[in-house]
Amino acid sequence: MDSQSNVQRAAPFRLLRDHFSTSNPFPILEQLRSLGPVVQAPSSSSDHNVWVVTRLKEAVDVLKDHKRFTVDSTIFDPQAAIQRQTEIDRTRPIFVQRSMINVDEPDHRRLRGLVSKAFTPRYIASLRPAIQQIADELLDRVQDQGKMDLVHDYGYPLPITVISDMLDVPVHMREQIRRWSEGLVDNAPGEEHRIRVQSFSDYIIELVAEKRKHPGDDLTSQLIQLEDEGDHLSEIELFSMIGLLVFAGHETTSNLISIGTLTLLDHPDQLQRLQADPSLIPSAIEELLRFNGPVLMPAPRWVVADTELAGQQLKKGDILMTVLASADRDEQQFTNPDELDIARSLNRHIAFGQGIHVCLGAPLARLEGDIAFTTLLRRMPDLQLAIPRDEVKWRDNITLRGLLRLPVTF
């Protein structure tokens, strides 16, 4: 769609459905912003309106205001709320059943507080030598080959190794977790997806059972101990929390590394600047997250009671889809938002979310990204794409964006 009149006639979800490109969603997101900061979308499968939040200010308002906009849809259904607290639903990924990503206060504070002790700044900083060793070992394996698939050989195994070591997931299970994770975010047929969901959930339950028999000083054992104390963590919360840490602990960081590398290869002037001045890597990571982050939008929010947002009248039960990737290119908030600037100052992106649900693992992801990019650019200064640019394949998922593979030479 090229003309403004066509944009105005098009419904937001129709734009996303008919014209969305996983590899380059930004032209469509720009058109959505032109329709307004909060745009109503038609919904034939719901009794409530669906709204798309496109600009930074309104996105921050929604993400920070959990009293008006909740992640917990069960507040409208008491029976569903009871089931969520007591029953494992084998048709849904275990990490979205009763974890901190889909509850608000006071349960959110309690659940997040239990794991935040393992993500203190001091502890995260202490992981640097171990993460550096992992990065070097991964590149040692391919150094003499002169080529690798950056997704499979580097971007994925680095964060999955880190979080698996923290949770004491056995080495032989990490490749299987990768396959399950890919299955949870792709658009596989219904039965195939159901089998992957159930297999992942069954493994988390199995891991907990094994750590009950043989506890250690790992995070899984620590969470089990809290559950055994009886006043902090229920069994279903335990399963959901560990499942969330396994999945979220590697999924977005691996995509940050691979998408970030591709973005730098697409902008050779910025890549050369970064190679010449590695001290820019921390700011480069923030810019890569803003410019081409791995999460298009977080969990939807439900309107708790009739309210107003950006001049739009929202009704109780309406659904809000907050598009982080659009907000982070908001022309009203960023200078030249469609340009990559690894030294960008005042970069107030929301790629990690905002409010109480801001990503708990953000400091770990930043550290892993820092080490991953520093090590890659230092050891492989002649990094180049090994296939034509138009042959780079993306996963078929508009929410959690990632590359299927990224062959490179060096």
pLDDT in tens, 246-300: 888 888 999 999 999 999 999 999 999 999 999 999 999 999 999 999 999 999 9
User: Residue 136: helix, strand or coil by DSSP?
Assistant: helix
Q: Are 281 and 373 a contacting pair, CB within 8 Å?
A: yes
Q: Give how far the C-alpha of residue 137 lies from the chain's centroid of Cα atoms, to the nearest Å.
A: 26
pLDDT in tens, 154-188: 999 999 999 999 999 999 998 898 888 877 777 66
For residue 322, pLDDT over 50 is answered with yes
Q: Are 218 and 211 a contacting pair, CB within 8 Å?
A: yes
Q: 113 Cβ partners below 8 Å, 6+ apart?
A: none
Q: 228 Cβ partners below 8 Å, 6+ apart?
A: none
Radius of gyration of the chain (CA): 21
Q: Are 159 and 368 a contacting pair, CB within 8 Å?
A: yes
Q: 208 Cβ partners below 8 Å, 6+ apart?
A: 220, 224, 238, 239, 242
Q: Give how far the C-alpha of residue 144 lies from the chain's centroid of Cα atoms, to the nearest Å.
A: 33
Q: Dihedral of CA 207/211/214/216: which sign? A: positive
Predicted local distance difference test score (pLDDT) of residue 231: 59
Q: Are 260 and 190 a contacting pair, CB within 8 Å?
A: no
> Tokens for 178?
């990768």
> Tokens for 30?
């720009």
DSSP 114: H
Question: b/e for 20-45, b at 16 or more Cβ within 10 A?
Answer: eeeeebbebbbbbbebbbbbbbeeee
Banded pLDDT at 397 (limits 50, 70, 90): confident
Q: Are 76 and 317 a contacting pair, CB within 8 Å?
A: yes
Q: Dihedral of CA 297/298/304/310: which sign? A: negative
Distance between CA atoms of 135 and 312, rounded to whole angstroms? 48
Distance between CA atoms of 198 and 92, rounded to whole angstroms? 8
DSSP 48: S
For residue 228, pLDDT over 60 is answered with yes
Cα dihedral 259, 99, 181, 385 in deg (nearest 10): 10
Closest CA to 292 of 320, 261, 268: 261
Banded pLDDT at 102 (limits 50, 70, 90): confident
Q: 2 Cβ partners below 8 Å, 6+ apart?
A: none
Which has more pLDDT, 280 or 1?
280
pLDDT in tens, 42-59: 765 567 889 999 999 999
Half-sphere exposure of 146 (CA within 13 A, CB side): 0
User: What CA–CA distances, in Å, run from 82 to 33, 75, 79, 364?
Assistant: 39, 10, 5, 34
Question: b/e for 118-146, b at 16 or more Cβ within 10 A?
Answer: bbeeeebeebeeebbebbeebbeebeeee
For residue 368, pLDDT over 70 is answered with yes
